[in-house]
Amino acid sequence: MLNEFAAKKFGKKPPVSGYRVRRDIRVLSVTERQKLFRAFNVLYKTGVLAQFGRLHGVQMLRKHHGASFLPWHRVYIAAVEEKLREIDPEVSLPYWDYTMDYYLPLPSDSVIWSSCFLGNGDGTVREGPFRNMYGGFNTLIARDIARNGTCPPRLINKDDIAELMDFCYFANITTGNTPIYYQQVNNLEVLHDGIHDWVGGDMGNGAQASYDPVFFMHHTFIDYIWEQFRWRQSSLMCRVNVEKDYREPGDYAVNNAPGHAPWEEMHGFEYLQNRDGLWRNWTTAVYGYEPAPKCPECGNSENLYCDMDVDPRRPEGVCVTKTKFFCVDTPLTDFDKDRPFEEPLGGGATVILGTIHKGLPGDGRTRFMSQEEGLAILRQHVGHVYPSHKPILHDVKAPQGYLPTLNMSLHEVVYVVSSADGQGALVKYEDIVKGLVTTVATILACVL
C-alpha cells in the first residue's frame, strides 16, 4: 500500500483526489459526518486502517520524542486522508478542537463522546460509528476518558496554545536531546501526549493508538496548532523561513535516537526526508484549514454555542461544545456493526498494563466527579470565583382584591445538560420546565 504513495510522489505533487479543507468535526453536517464514518468503516473492513496502525506502532522512536514528530505525523495523517478520499472524494479529515471541551464543567460530557460523533469513552466502544472495531491488541477498541488517578491528565486549552505562539523557532516547541522530556511545558509533542493519556485505553498506548479513529482527529488538531505556529513564524514578528527552520545538529532527539535528522528518510515514506514535512506545499496544494470556530457564530454549528461569561479573560466569548445529551443523529445502519465480528481464537490478547500518565500535570477533573466539583476547578483555572449570572427578580402587582405582590427570583445557574447522569439531567430539565410553566401561569392569574 505504501509503495503507491511513492509512485504517485505524494506530497511532491498535488494529490490525485485534489485539495481539501479540514474543519472541526462539530461543524460538519450530519451528512458530512456520516460520509466520513462510512469511509473509515471501509478502510477498517479492507484492512487498510490496520496497515496504518502497524506503521505507526513500529519503530516508535524514529517518529516520537524528537524533531521528526511533527513532520512525520503531517505526512502520515495526510496519507490516511488520501485513502479516505479514494473511497469518497468529498471527505476530509476533521480536527477535534478540545479547547472547546475544556470549558465544560466535566469535559468528558462533550457531545464528542456520543453516538453522533466518536462513540462512548468509558470502556469498550459499543456505540457510535466505530463500535466493535478491533484494535492493535486484537481486542475491541476501548477508552478510559478523564479517568481517576493520582495525576489525572487534562485537555489542551487556549492558554497552552497562546504560550506556544510566544515563540518563533521550530526548536522552541519541539523535542531535542533533553533528559527532562516530560517537564517541557511549551513542547507541542508533550502537550499532545496528554491527550492520549486523557482518552486512555488504546489511545493511551502509543503502539496501538492509531487503531482508534479518534487518533486522527486528535493529530489533525495538533497539525493545525503547528500550522498556526508556522503562520506566526512567517509573519513580521518572527521572519523565519519555515521550510529551512529545524533543530541544531546533535540536538534532534532524546538520547540521540536515530531517525530525526532532517536528511533521514521518513519511516514508511522513504521517498521523503524529514525536512520534506516542512514544505509549504502541504498546506497550499494538499490541504488547508478552516479556522477554529469563534464567537458569536461558532461555525454556525448546532453542536456549539458561544459563552460570553465562562472565561472573563476573553470578553469576546469562547465557543463551547454542547454535551452528549444533545446527540440526536440517526445511527448509521448501512453496515452491521451492532455485533462484534467473529472472535479471534483464544479470545484475543489480554491487556495487563493500562495507561501510565507521564505527561504534564492535569487540572484534576475526572468523569467521576460531580458537576459542582468540576465547575469549581474550571473557575479556579479561568479566574472565576462566583457565578457571573445575576438573579432576575419579578415583582407582579396584583389588581385590587387579588393576591398581594408576588416576588420571584428566577436565578438559576443550570448545568443539567452537562450532568454525568443523563437520566437525572433529563428529569431535572423537566422539573425546570414545569416550574417555569407554573410561574407563567401564576403571573397570568395575578394579572388577569
> Above pLDDT 90, what percent of the chain?
69
Give the pLDDT band of residue 308 (cuts 50, 70, 90). very high
Residue 347's pLDDT is 35
Residue 150's pLDDT is 72
Average pLDDT value for residue range 134-161: 92
Residue 180's pLDDT is 85
Residue 359's pLDDT is 61
Residue 402's pLDDT is 45
Say if residue 426's pLDDT is above 70: no
- The CA distance from 286 to 308, in Å, is 36
Among the listed ranges 110-119, 128-137, 362-371, which one has the minimum average pLDDT value?
362-371
Residue 210's pLDDT is 97
Give the pLDDT band of residue 341 (cuts 50, 70, 90). very low
**Contact between residue 359 and residue 193 where contact means Cβ atoms under 8 Å apart:** yes
User: What are 181-192's pLDDT values in tens digits?
Assistant: 888 889 999 999
Residue 350's pLDDT is 32
Alpha helices in 138-289, H assignment, sequence order? 158-164, 170-173, 188-199, 214-234
Residue 142: which residues within 8 A CB-CB, separation 6 or more? Answer: 123, 124, 125, 135, 201, 202
Amino acid at 378: L
User: What are 46-82's pLDDT values in tens digits?
Assistant: 999 999 999 999 999 999 999 999 999 999 999 999 9
Say if residue 97's pLDDT is above 60: yes
Higher pLDDT, 70 or 345: 70
Give the pLDDT band of residue 396 (cuts 50, 70, 90). very low
Nearest to 310 by CA among 302, 319, 301: 319
Residue 259's pLDDT is 96
Residue 173's pLDDT is 97
Give the pLDDT band of residue 367 (cuts 50, 70, 90). confident
Supply the mean pLDDT for the chain: 84
Average pLDDT value for residue range 315-335: 83
Question: What is the set of domains in the chain, with CATH numbers?
Answer: 3-382 (1.10.1280.10), 393-447 (no CATH)
pTM for this predicted structure:
0.81
Residue 186's pLDDT is 92
Residue 232's pLDDT is 97
Which residue in this structure is represented by grid cell 451492532? 338
- Long-range contact set of residues 327-330: C-beta below 8 Å, sequence gap at least 24: 327/111, 327/114, 327/115, 327/116, 327/117, 328/116, 329/30, 329/33, 329/34, 329/115, 329/116
Q: Out of 297-301, 406-410, 421-425, give the one with best mean pLDDT.
A: 297-301
Residue 377's pLDDT is 86
Say if residue 351's pLDDT is above 60: no
Residue 382's pLDDT is 84
**Contact between residue 145 and residue 113 where contact means Cβ atoms under 8 Å apart:** yes
User: What are 26-46's pLDDT values in tens digits?
Assistant: 999 999 999 999 999 999 999
Average pLDDT value for residue range 305-332: 91
Give the pLDDT band of residue 328 (cuts 50, 70, 90). confident
Say if residue 295's pLDDT is above 70: yes
Amino acid at 161: I
**Contact between residue 172 and residue 232 where contact means Cβ atoms under 8 Å apart:** no
Residue 389's pLDDT is 38
Pairing of strands 122-124, 142-144: antiparallel
Average pLDDT value for residue range 84-107: 97
End-to-end CA distance of the chain: 76
Residue 310's pLDDT is 96
